[in-house]
Amino acid sequence: MDTSDPDIVFDADGVCSHCHNFDKEWSLRWFPDERGKAMLDQIMSGVREKGKGKDHDCIIGLSGGVDSSYLALVLKEYDLRPLVVHVDAGWNSELAVYNIEQVVKHCGYELHTHVMDWEEIRDLQVAYLKAGVSNQDVVQDHAFFASLYHFAVKHKIKDVISGGNIATESVFPDSWHHDAMDASSLKSIHKTFGVKKLRQYKTIGFYEYYFHYPFIKGMTVTRPLNFMPYDKVAALDVLKEKIGYKEYGRKHGESRFTKFFQNYFLPQKFGYDKRLPHFSSLILSGQMSREDALNELKSSLYDENELREDKAYIAKKLGISVSDLEGFAGSEGIHYTEYRNWDKKYRMLSLMKKVVRKLGWFKLKTY
């Protein structure tokens, strides 16, 4: 990591705040050992017990990426019966469709594919490009999570199983993004730059996310990959061997827009190279050496021909010109706080959590 993260701090030995945060915070929630296996066995047993007599005992989102695909295989090993949800926001690569089919076929799962209204997605995506904020993936990410929770409520499922994990995602600068679950920010950006009404696009508000789902509906989120020695390369090898999984060649290659956003838009507009936090996470979890990471960073983010093809494809799909798309990426970045957001509410929630924990009333856990 470097000073492209304006909040980074280095100590006298040159060790950065992300490394210290991993040692003091993340490592305490990561159990890649026998203790983690025992904990996960107990958690999975509880999920199975709660799901007795129901069609499904949990729900997972399947994007076709390595994390969610490997997680699906893990759940099969634990004899769980997940409702598998895939949200198609219009940007799936052909490989993503293939990999999803292979996972579902191998595991014998029931797949629910929710196809988003493309005209609404297109309008919202162009609004985000015009807004100029760093997290352009909010449009997809919010839709994925909102659909997952709505499906869970509809089918009376209380256990959400997530592929999020510390081994590959422990380092991510807060200054680089804003929470994709902030529906107030999404609605503010769409109100400012959007044209169409969002009739089909479902959102989750602050109250729903932090109070209604966990406390009223009793939903919990479990991240099994944090309770095992999750190695991305090893997981990929298992997927290739067991289901004929096909590699994308780059992180988040399952979405053509995400690939473009991370490897062109962010570096051009904000100077952010997503490989820095990704490689840093792998170094901290022992999956990569710093030397190998530095060598990898010497390679270009995009093949010129591939970039030209992706620009043309994305611009045409969004109904804008390539020059417009390049203009959005080349103009000055706008901080998300220029639009309405939930930061004030979140600060109040954080203060409440501290008070509750200090008084020892009960263990408070949110997503």
Strand locations in 165-255, DSSP E? 220-222
Find, among 287, 315, 319, 301, the residue nearest to 119 by Cα.
319
Instruction: Delineate the domains of the chain, giving CATH numbers in brackets.
Output: 18-359 (3.40.50.620)
Strand order in the sheet with 159-161: 110-115, 82-88, 58-61, 159-161, 220-222
Q: What is the per-residue pLDDT for 253?
A: 67
Rounded to an integer, what distance in angstroms lies between the CA atom of residue 315 and that of residue 239? 33
Kindly report, residue by residue over 115-131, the tens digit of the pLDDT. 999 999 999 999 999 99
Adjacent-strand bridge partners of 16: 10
CA dihedral 252, 255, 258, 260 (to 10 degrees): 110
Strand partners, 221: 160
Which helix (H) or strand (E) is 61 found in, with range?
Answer: strand 58-61
Contact assessment for residue 89 and residue 143, using Cβ atoms and an 8 Å cutoff: yes
Q: Which residue has 């994308």 as its token pair?
A: 248
Structure tokens at 31: 């159990």
pLDDT of res. 367? 45
Closest CA to 141 of 103, 185, 81, 171: 185
Q: What is the mean pLDDT of the chain?
A: 94
Name the stretches of the chain with pLDDT < 70.
250-253, 360-367
Tokens of 356: 């509750």
Alpha carbon distances (Å) from 257 to 69, 92, 137, 307: 20, 9, 8, 11
Mapped onto helix, strand or coil, the DSSP state of residue 218 is coil
**Calpha distance 69→163 (Å, rounded):** 9
* Nearest in space to 132 (alpha carbons), one of 325, 317, 311: 325
Are 264 and 325 contacting, i.e. CB atoms less than 8 angstroms apart? no
Residue 355's pLDDT is what? 81
Which tokens go with 216? 């009223």
Instruction: Identify whether the C-beta of residue 142 lies closer than 8 Å to the C-beta of residue 127.
Output: no
pTM reported for the whole predicted model: 0.93
CA-only gyration radius of the chain, Å: 21
